[in-house]
Structure 1
Amino acid sequence: MKKFFSYTMYIGLLAMALNLTSCQDEFEEINNGEEPQAIEANSSTADLIQRTSSNDGSSDNIVDGTSCFQIKFPYTVEVNGLTLTIESKDDLETIEEIFDSIDDDENILDIIFPITVTAGDFTEITVNGLQDLRELAAECKEGGEDDDIECIDFVYPMTLYTFNVNLEQTSTVQVESDRELRLFFKDLGSDSLVSFDFPITLKLYDDTTIEVANHRELASAIENAKDDCDEDDDDDYNDDDFNEDELNSELIECVWFVTEFRRNDVDQTQQYVNYILNFKGDGTVSNGFDGATVIEGTWSTKVGDDGAKLTMEFENSTDFNLEWNVYDLGDDKIKLFSGDGNRVIMKQFCGEDLQYTNVDTLREILKECAWIIKDIELQNEDFDRVLGYEFQFMAEGVVTLSNGVNISEGTWDIKLNTEQILVLAIEITDEPGVNFEWPIREMFNNRLKFEADEIGYELDLQRVCENSITDADVLEIRDFMMGGDWIVASYVEDNVDMTNIYGGYSLSFIADNQVSIMEGGEVFGAGLWRVLRNSEEKLKVFLNFGENNPFNELTDDWEVVSVVDGRIELKDISGDGSITTLVLEK
Structure 2
Amino acid sequence: MKTIKQILILLLVVLPLGISCSDDDTKTKDTQKSASLRVVFNEMKNNFNIAGRSSSDDDDEMCFDFVYPITLSYNTGTTVTVNSIDELIDLLSNEDEDMYLEAIAFPFQIQYLASGTTVTINSEDDFEGIIDECDFDTYDDDDYMDSECFQLVYPFSIINTTNSETFLMESESQLYAFFEGLDDEDEDFNFDFVYPISVIVDGATVVVSNSYQFEEILNSCDDDYDYDDDCVCTEEYSPVCVIDEDGEVITYPNPCHAQCDGFTESDFVDCN
Q: Could you say whether these structures have the same fold, taking a TM-score greater than 0.5 normalized by the shorter chain as the test?
A: no
More strand by share: 1
- TM-score (normalised: structure 2): 0.35
Larger radius of gyration: 1
- If asked which structure has higher relative contact order (CA below 8 Å, sep 6+), I would say 2
- TM-score (normalised: structure 1): 0.18
More helix by share: 2
